[in-house]
Amino acid sequence: TTSAEHVAMQGTGLSPRALGTGYHNTDYSFADESDPVDQWRMIVAGRQKYRNSYDLSPFIDTRERRRIVGDAYISPLDIINGRTWHDTISLHESNFDTHGYTVHPVFLIDFPDKKDMIAPVPYRALLPKDLDGLLVTGLGISAHRDSMPILRMQPCIQNQGYAAGVAAAMVAADGIPTRSLDVKALQQHLVEIGSLPADTLEAQDSGKAPDDAVAAAVNSVVEEYRGLALLLEEKDRAVPLLKTAYEKADLPEHRLIYANILGMLGDATGLPTLIESIRSQEWDEGWNFRGMGQFGGSISPLDSHLIAAGQSGDPKALPVILEKVAQLDAAKEFSHHRAVAMALEAQRDPSAAKALADLLGKEGMTGHSINDISESNRQEERSEPLREIILARALYRCGDHEGVAEKILKTYETDLRALFAQHAHAVLTEKR
């Protein structure tokens, strides 16, 4: 279920069906497959949207669902860094086809665009923690939400499902716990049928990177962010080296990269460089939620610098962030609003509350919740409600101003879209 942490979800749809073969892939809304009200809303809205179609799909095409906490957890850093596992049972190949915006810190700094990647999935990612006799496959495995665009493609899921089925049969035949499975025997079978390459049998769990690899990544990160994922994985060892590299950097663009990474990691060493860069430019080209066919990063360079300034933890960042807030209105892209919200809620300074309330008071900034089924034709507006609820969340965490944030969040608490209702409720009930 959605938490107070973020309100990101891959876009979904309820597809029309035509006579004959084939299918129609859609992405025009958000849906929580576990919420019956949300399911009802999707069906009603789908009937309206495709009223002239032969039929509708019997299933809502959710790309993101609830996931287990398993014995192993697959993060975007694991995928980018090429992590290996001793108990791999399926290989998954795709690019980061996000159908929305990402939240992992690595994607707040850089994004791999359309590059295809191969990610191994270990048997342990299918095992729910502290629970025996159950295997979870597909969109429900133990992984970060931003890993799922690589892990959710249908052919790979089919291979994973086959492997899980064989594993279940082996466990049942031997009358043993799921964690006592002879994984090597399963892998040998999967190699024999061509589902896994032979070198899978020799793979081991990746260990920690050596110190010289971390040092090399610090040097290479200024070259199109090579090694960034390793630095985020090994941040305790990386931060002192990044601070030294920042101080020694000769080129301004290199200092800015180091400052940005340090800020994202909660270090304010490079804050003066971030402030100077932010003040020197107007808003750049931002990002709006489109969904289908949307690849690449979901924030702009300026967005990234603002988030890093806020997350540096230094209150000296506040004035420059508020300067950018004053330049925003409903015509500016969603990513810019998200950036200032993330920066300010990282600081949680009550002096930022009025500026956020003033922004929400501008024309077109509020009123995007769907609280009645008759309003469901507005479900294809996605940047607008996301913008409103994220800014309201930031305002609420900065102490609110004249009850503006609480009023907005309470309205979204009864939104028919479970994503927004659950997120608003989680924010309203968190300790302040």
Task: Print the domain residue range for 222.
Answer: 211-429
Q: Where are the beta strands (DSSP E) in 152-277?
A: none
CB 352 within 8 A of CB 322: yes
- State the pairing for strand pair 88-94/55-56: unpaired
**Secondary structure (3-state) at 92:** strand
Same domain, 196 and 215: no
What's the pLDDT score for residue 1?
55
Whether residue 60 lies inside any domain: the answer is no
What's the pLDDT score for residue 293?
64
Whether residue 105 lies inside any domain: the answer is yes
Same domain, 289 and 394: yes
Q: What domain count does the chain have?
A: 2
What's the pLDDT score for residue 235?
97
Same domain, 172 and 266: no
Both tokens of 177, joined, read 């716990």
What's the pLDDT score for residue 118?
94
Same domain, 90 and 124: yes
Domain boundary among 152, 175, 202: 202
pTM of the model: 0.94
* Mean pLDDT per 10-residue segment, the chain (432 residues): 86 88 84 93 94 90 93 97 98 88 94 84 98 96 95 95 98 98 98 97 96 98 97 98 98 98 99 98 92 75 98 98 98 98 98 99 98 91 96 98 98 97 97 76
Same domain, 195 and 258: no
Distance CA 340, CA 362 (A): 16
**Around Cβ 222, how many Cβ atoms within 10 Å?**
19
Distance CA 320, CA 333 (A): 19
Helix and strand element counts for the chain (H, E): 17, 4
Same domain, 253 and 362: yes
Q: What are phi and psi of 185, to 5 degrees?
A: -65, -40
What's the pLDDT score for residue 85?
98
Distance CA 328, CA 291 (A): 23
Whether residue 56 lies inside any domain: the answer is no
Q: Answer positive or negative: Cα dihedral of 69, 72, 77, 79.
A: negative
Whether residue 310 lies inside any domain: the answer is yes
Distance CA 432, CA 423 (A): 16
